[in-house]
Amino acid sequence: MIVLTMALAAAQAALPAAAAPASPPIKIVVLGDSLSAGLGLSAHDSFPAKLQKALKDKGIDIDMINAGVSGDTSSGGRDRLDWSVPEGTDGVIVELGANDALRGTNPSVTRAALSDIVSRLKGRGIAVLLCGMLAPPNYGSDYAARFNSIYPDLAKSFGIALYPFFLDGVAADAKLNQADGIHPTAGGVDIIVARIMPTVQAFLGSIRGQSR
């Protein structure tokens, strides 16, 4: 009897430990304009698609929704927020404001719309990564100062993650932009993804930490 018990114990010890249940993928929405919608590019070359692939290559599993709408302003993003960001979303990457700047929209309008977006998302318990935009120089230094300060101010006041300039390393580089000089090529999107990746990884890490 003792021998049988010892044999059973040895057999159980030899069994592989049960694998820990895998964490569900983080659900992310990219709420943006044509820069994230992928205007002029194939679907797999858009920013959300390339970001998701880059994260997957690093072993980070996420469900990514591309909620980019070409031509959208920050006010337009606010108006469609509820149906663009479904229930169960863990985090939103907000990429809005480029069209506001191109049209010379009063920075107070842009600030109010982005503030409302962030406030409503936080009210739903959804984490926010805000992507900054810079005003073109043709509107003058006063406009640029008022517009460019929107993003760091909101990030600080709401305590949210900030990537200072979405087009960092790509803006004004003809080789990385399409013929319109505004929208990045697939290679330009690669640069954006590479540069924003550390910020996104930290953002996703904070979401995982809060969900424990």
Q: Is the pTM of this model over 0.75?
A: yes
34 has catalytic annotation: yes
Residues 6+ apart with CB under 8 A from 27: 62, 63, 65, 88, 89, 90, 91
SS3 label, residue 166: coil
* Active-site residue, from 46, 74, 90, 183: 183
* Active-site residue, from 34, 36, 46, 84: 34
Domain boundaries in the chain?
Answer: 24-211
pLDDT digits (tens, 9 = 90+) for 138-194: 999 999 999 999 999 999 999 999 999 999 999 999 999 999 999 999 999 999 999
Q: Can you tell me which residue has the tokens 């820069």?
A: 35
45 has catalytic annotation: no
pLDDT digits (tens, 9 = 90+) for 59-90: 999 999 999 999 999 999 999 999 999 999 99
Class of domain 24-211: alpha beta
157 has catalytic annotation: no
Largest CA distance in the chain: 91
* Active-site residue, from 57, 90, 180, 211: 180
